[in-house]
Amino acid sequence: MTYRAPVQDIVFTMRHVAGLDRAAADGIYGDLSADLAQTILEEAGRFANDVIAPLNAEGDRRGATFKDGAVTTAPGWKQAYRAWAEAGWNALPGPVEYGGQGLPTLLNSACVEMWNSASMAFGIGPVLTMGAIEALVQHASDDLRSRYLDKLVSGEWTATMNLTEPQAGSDLAAIRSRAERAGDGTYRITGQKIFITYGEHDLTDNIVHLVLARLPDAPAGTRGISLFLVPKFLADGTRNDVRCHSIEHKLGIHASPTCTMIFGDHGGAVGWLIGEENRGLACMFTMMNNARLAVGLQGVAIAERAYQQALGYANERRQGRAIGAHDGMSPIIAHPDVQRNLLTMKALTAAARAICYMTAEAIDRAHLEQDPARRKKANERASLLTPVAKAFSTDIGMEVASLGVQVHGGMGYVEETGAAQHLRDARIAPIYEGTNGIQAIDLVTRKLPLSGGETVRAQIASMRAIVTRLLKENIPAFGATAPRLRDAVESLDRATSHLLQAVSSNAQGEALAGATPYLRLFALAQGGAALAEMALAANAQAAAGDGDPAHAGRIALCRFFAENIAIGAKGLEDTVLGGAGFLQDANLALAS
Ligand SMILES: Cc1cc2nc3c(=O)[nH]c(=O)nc-3n(C[C@H](O)[C@H](O)[C@H](O)COP(=O)(O)OP(=O)(O)OC[C@H]3O[C@@H](n4cnc5c(N)ncnc54)[C@H](O)[C@@H]3O)c2cc1C
């Protein structure tokens, strides 16, 4: 089953939830109109459909291979990557002064979704390059920027993110890689990094590694970590002292090489400091925040791909006789249970897409708003939404891909249809770029307290405003959407107060115990509100005489989400309020 980029749904989400029209009207997006965005996305969709998607299954079967220190990507990968970069897709969000097109994160996010639907193993590489570009733009010296940015923006070179070491995964305070001052302004880097995505490959002539390491006199913990740029090849063409030791054999994304990297076999790899000494983690967070939204988009992407595949199969596969059918076997889509699975897949995907695109627009405003107070507000909104976008979208990516296998029955469990590959590929996204457990802790302990809780309160108020509109307009086709959504938003409000109180009174155990159910609760309320906002826009367009049948579908999907998925909010609220006490009592089960 091939992929078809859902450009209409994407553009509708950008316009009616993520605020593309509003941002364009405010002058935030320069010349970018909804029509221009649609034209660009149709072109991106064609590239994703025609060039990347056909490589996905073969990339999975053949994977990347390692021999004598070199990594060879799967057949067709190199040509596709070069065609993709030459078409300007890598440069789309890049700064204009370094050859980029300077287009917004929102537009690029829609493209990132498409590249990753076509192939997650392909899409993850550019995510890291784009993150590195942002870190260099914000933190690197003029000299480093002028030497590296042009080629990274064009995609002639790629970049990596080197954080993880065997003893330092979620806890980067444990990093041991070393950096020595060489006395000439450069540094010598030694150490081992594991799980480095596209750490070595044959797609480009050079690879630019961004590496976290410690100086000899650095304070312990995260305050003693610095960030360095370490190229595979130095400016004079000599090979730097960095090599790939091996690549991993893993569950999914086989075509994305996951490398163990060794720095400094021969005295130390030459590196240049990015930002200030011992302030590396803050610089790396620029890259990681960008990458966290992009990984959330991978969740949306794989969910969309799995949904399209399952829908196609459910229309073709015949088993059993549907209620009311008179003879022969019916297509399985006629059975209520299969319909429920498909609707759940579609509704979760649409909600996650809306949350990711809202996050992207907040990031754009945080960069582009003229007024400092509005910029700060947007920045805090982006900070609040980023862990939700990452964790919810990648969790549902897994859930939707698993439902996709279920819709296929036994044919989903064997490799022939491709449904199994989506499930295997989806599994990494809740783990990398900070596990989803870490995202939930970030949301509760660092993001809820932003501006004394004002940021989250404003977000909840925006959800309430949508509920108020639903109640006021009282449209029969929306069924019980308004009361169900109102309940979800009120559950979120109470759980938020509980956790804000826990954080401010230093009741850490209470806050941490409720973090993961809280993140899900936030996403259910936010996702439901976003789908309702789109459905209200669809209803208004239909009332104005626009006969697009997709409008009725958008209202039905919003209603399904509110009546069947958002109703889980109350249970999640109870779990959050039960908090540490619930866990403490239950822990007896782990000891027995
Ligand atoms: C395919 C792949 C690609 C990757 N690409 C890169 C890359 O390009 N660059 C890079 O630097 N790294 C990369 N990684 C590493 C990845 O980011 C880490 O695996 C991830 O951050 C988790 O670290 P860990 O594996 O050490 O797990 P651990 O940190 O050991 O965590 C194990 C479990 O414990 C939980 N946990 C840990 N600490 C806490 C806590 N304080 N509170 C609550 N729960 C906790 C986690 O949520 C998790 O469920 C990649 C990994 C894979 C598998």
Assess if CATH 1.10.540.10 describes domain 7-154: yes
What pLDDT score was predicted for residue 591? 86
Taking the centre of ligand 1 as the mean of its atom positions, its distance from the CA of residue 258, in whole angstroms, is: 13
- Domain ranges in the chain? 7-154, 158-278, 435-592
User: Which candidate in 165, 361, 433, 490 is catalytic?
Assistant: 433
Give the ligand 1 atom nearest the CA of 433: 17
Q: Is the pLDDT of residue 2 over 90?
A: no
Residue 161 Cβ inside 6 Å of ligand 1? The answer reads yes
Taking the centre of ligand 1 as the mean of its atom positions, its distance from the CA of residue 495, in whole angstroms, is: 27
Question: Do residues 17 and 92 make contact, with C-beta atoms less than 8 angstroms apart?
Answer: no
Give the ligand 1 atom nearest the CA of 197: 8
Buried/exposed 94-111: b ≥16 CB within 10 Å, e otherwise: bbeebbbbebbbbbbbbb
Mean pLDDT of 278-285: 90
Kindly report, residue by residue over 287-302, the tens digit of the pLDDT: 777 899 999 999 999 9
Which band of pLDDT confidence, cut at 50, 70 and 90, is reported for residue 103? very high
Per the rule left: phi > 0, alpha: psi between -120 and 50, beta: everything else, 475 is beta
| 433 is an active site residue | yes
Pocket test for ligand 1, best of 288, 432, 583 (most atoms within 8 A of CB): 432
Give the ligand 1 atom nearest the CA of 193: 11
Q: Is the pLDDT of residue 6 over 90?
A: yes
Taking the centre of ligand 1 as the mean of its atom positions, its distance from the CA of residue 67, in whole angstroms, is: 27
Pocket test for ligand 1, best of 120, 435, 518 (most atoms within 8 A of CB): 435
Residue 435 Cβ inside 6 Å of ligand 1? The answer reads yes
Kindly report, residue by residue over 44-92, the tens digit of the pLDDT: 999 999 999 999 999 999 999 999 999 999 999 999 999 999 999 999 9
Mean pLDDT of 214-222: 95
Q: Which residues contact 246 (CB under 8 A, 6 or more apart)?
A: 66, 259, 260
What pLDDT score was predicted for residue 588? 87
Kindly report, residue by residue over 458-514, the tens digit of the pLDDT: 999 999 999 999 999 999 999 999 999 999 999 999 999 999 999 999 999 999 999
Question: Do residues 37 and 21 make contact, with C-beta atoms less than 8 angstroms apart?
Answer: no
Return the CATH class of domain 158-278.
mainly beta
What pLDDT score was predicted for residue 582? 86
SS3 annotation, 507-556: CHHHHHHHHHHHHHHHHHHHHHHHHHHHHHHHHHHHHCCCCCCHHHHHHH
Kindly report, residue by residue over 342-384, the tens digit of the pLDDT: 999 999 999 999 999 999 999 999 999 999 999 999 999 999 9
What pLDDT score was predicted for residue 584? 86
With a pLDDT cut of 90, the percent of the chain lying above it is: 94
Give the ligand 1 atom nearest the CA of 435: 47
Residue 437 Cβ inside 6 Å of ligand 1? The answer reads yes
Sign of the C-alpha dihedral, residues 464, 465, 471, 474? negative
Predicted structure pTM score: 0.98
Q: Is the pLDDT of residue 1 over 80?
A: no
Kindly report, residue by residue over 112-141, the tens digit of the pLDDT: 999 999 999 999 999 999 999 999 999 999
Taking the centre of ligand 1 as the mean of its atom positions, its distance from the CA of residue 384, in whole angstroms, is: 21
Give the amino acid at 363: I
SS3 annotation, 239-269: ECCEEEEEECCCCCCCCCCEEEEEECCCCCE
Kindly report, residue by residue over 142-168, the tens digit of the pLDDT: 999 999 999 999 999 999 999 999 999
Kindly report, residue by residue over 85-96, the tens digit of the pLDDT: 999 999 999 999
Distances (CA, A) of 382 to 93, 459, 518: 17, 11, 18
Residue 162 Cβ inside 6 Å of ligand 1? The answer reads yes
Residue nearest to ligand 1 atom 16, measured at CA: 432
* Cα–Cα distance for residue pair 435/432, rounded to 1 Å: 6
Kindly report, residue by residue over 289-338, the tens digit of the pLDDT: 789 999 999 999 999 999 999 999 999 999 999 999 998 999 999 999 99
Q: Between residues 581 and 209, which one has the greater pLDDT?
A: 209
Taking the centre of ligand 1 as the mean of its atom positions, its distance from the CA of residue 435, in whole angstroms, is: 6
Residue nearest to ligand 1 atom 38, measured at CA: 170
Give the ligand 1 atom nearest the CA of 431: 20
Taking the centre of ligand 1 as the mean of its atom positions, its distance from the CA of residue 165, in whole angstroms, is: 10
Distances (CA, A) of 58 to 76, 119, 256: 9, 11, 12
